[in-house]
Structure 1
Amino acid sequence: MKLVYVFDAYCGWSHGFSRTLREVTGRHPELPVEVVSGGLFTGSRRVPIREFGYVQGANAKIAELTGAAFGAAYDGLIADGSFVMDSEAAARGVAALRQVAPDRVAELATALQDAFYVDGRSLSDPATYRAVAEAAGIDADAVVAAFEAPEARSAARADFRRAAELGVTGFPTLLAVDGDSVLPLAYGHATAAEVDQRLAALPTR
């Protein structure tokens, strides 16, 4: 069995789930983790953030419910409403981090969300991935090269297809996958204790 975490790096609720993800993966090192980018802001949804009028209210709710931090630098980035969240670029970045450090992808996914929501860094900027890689002690040059490579776009599209094939319609979603069996562990918000309870209740195979 493995865990499959389907998220979007530009999703505030995914940011709110980061603490739970870190706790669950820390408690269950025996479970491999697959991280899949869901593609929240693509196509016609790739527009200036001002067109999503609910963002600030949603972030306040996320912070209240999960304790997630939203930094002053993030507030500054989105203050004039012109910033465009591009989930394909973010998915390329996740794919690059996954390629260079596959065993640390869950940790790096949460670090990427901190880069945006706390540090106010664009996930379309190669410098963001350099900073995340350097902070994690992995090969920053390799991560940036992977982010900029043509294959990263294919990897992003493959992630979007994978999310759809798993039947995921919202982010974040945490699944337990065992062969053809796909069982939900969390959707939107859950504590690590709640995920543990659901893991314990899974049928044994």
Structure 2
Amino acid sequence: MQLVYAFDAYCGWSHGFSPTLREVVSRHPDLPVQVISGGLFTGSRRVPIREFGYVQGANSQIAELTGAEFGEGYNRLIADGSFVMDSEDAARGVAALRRMAPDRAAELAGALQRTFYVDGLSLSEPATYRKVAEEVGLDADTVVSAFDSPEAYDTAADDFRRCAELGVTGFPTLLGVDGDRVAVLAHGRATVDEVDRRLAPLS
């Protein structure tokens, strides 16, 4: 069995779930973890953040319920409402980082979300991935090159397709996958103990 974590790097609830995921992975070192990106802000949803009027209210709720940090850099980035979240770019970045260290995918997803939600760096900029790579000890030039490669677009599309095939309807979603068996361990929010209780019958 493996854990499959479907998230979107531009999803605040995924940011809030990062500590839970980290603890689940820590408790179950024997379970491989696959991290796949969703396409939350693609197509017609790739618009200035001001068009999502609920963002600030949702972030306050996320912070209250999960303890997630929304930093000054992030607040400055979205202050005038013109910033555009592009989930395809974010998925390309996740793919570039994941390719370098697939066994650290969950850790890298969390690091990338902190870079946006705390530092306020766009996930469409190659420099953002250089910074993350350097901070986590990966070869920055290779990561940036992978982010800019044509293959990254294909990998992002593969991730979006995999989310759909698994029946993921929102982010974050943590699944236990064993062959054709797919069990939902967390959707939106869950404690580590709740995940463990749902995981126990599958082990």
TM-score by length of 2: 0.99
Give the alignment's Cα RMSD to 1 decimal. 0.6
Partners in 2 of 1:166 and 1:186 — Cα distance? Answer: 14
Deviation (angstroms), 1:197: 1.2
Find the counterpart in structure 1 of residue 184 from structure 2: 184
Q: Per-residue CA shift, 1:90-140, capped at 9, x if unaligned?
A: 000000011111111110001000000000000000011011110001111
Where do residues 8-87 of structure 1 align in structure 2 (5 Å cutoff)?
8-87=8-87
Aligned to 2:65, what secondary structure does the other structure show?
Answer: helix
> Which residue identity does 1:19 align to in structure 2?
P
Partners in 2 of 1:140 and 1:192 — Cα distance? Answer: 32
Find the counterpart in structure 2 of residue 161 from structure 1: 161
Deviation (angstroms), 1:3: 0.1
Of 193-202 and 133-142, deviating more is: 193-202
Aligned to 2:5, what secondary structure does the other structure show?
Answer: strand
Aligned to 2:121, what secondary structure does the other structure show?
Answer: coil
Find the counterpart in structure 1 of residue 90 from structure 2: 90
Partners in 2 of 1:144 and 1:188 — Cα distance? Answer: 30
**Percent identity over the alignment?**
76
Aligned to 1:29, what secondary structure does the other structure show?
Answer: coil
Deviation (angstroms), 1:201: 2.9
Partners in 1 of 2:132 and 2:161 — Cα distance? Answer: 26
Partners in 1 of 2:39 and 2:87 — Cα distance? Answer: 5
Find the counterpart in structure 2 of residue 143 from structure 1: 143
Find the counterpart in structure 1 of residue 131 from structure 2: 131
Partners in 2 of 1:130 and 1:70 — Cα distance? Answer: 21
Find the counterpart in structure 2 of residue 104 from structure 1: 104
Partners in 1 of 2:129 and 2:192 — Cα distance? Answer: 28
Partners in 1 of 2:142 and 2:100 — Cα distance? Answer: 7
Partners in 2 of 1:128 and 1:27 — Cα distance? Answer: 30
Q: Give runs of ≥4 in structure 1 deviating > 4 Å.
A: none
Aligned to 2:39, what secondary structure does the other structure show?
Answer: coil
Q: Per-residue CA shift, 1:24-46, capped at 9, x if unaligned?
A: 00111100000010110000000
User: Number of paired residues?
Assistant: 203
Q: Per-residue CA shift, 1:127-184, capped at 9, x if unaligned?
A: 1101111000111111000000010000000000000000001000000000110000
Aligned to 2:68, what secondary structure does the other structure show?
Answer: coil
Partners in 1 of 2:144 and 2:130 — Cα distance? Answer: 6
Aligned to 2:36, what secondary structure does the other structure show?
Answer: strand
Deviation (angstroms), 1:15: 0.4
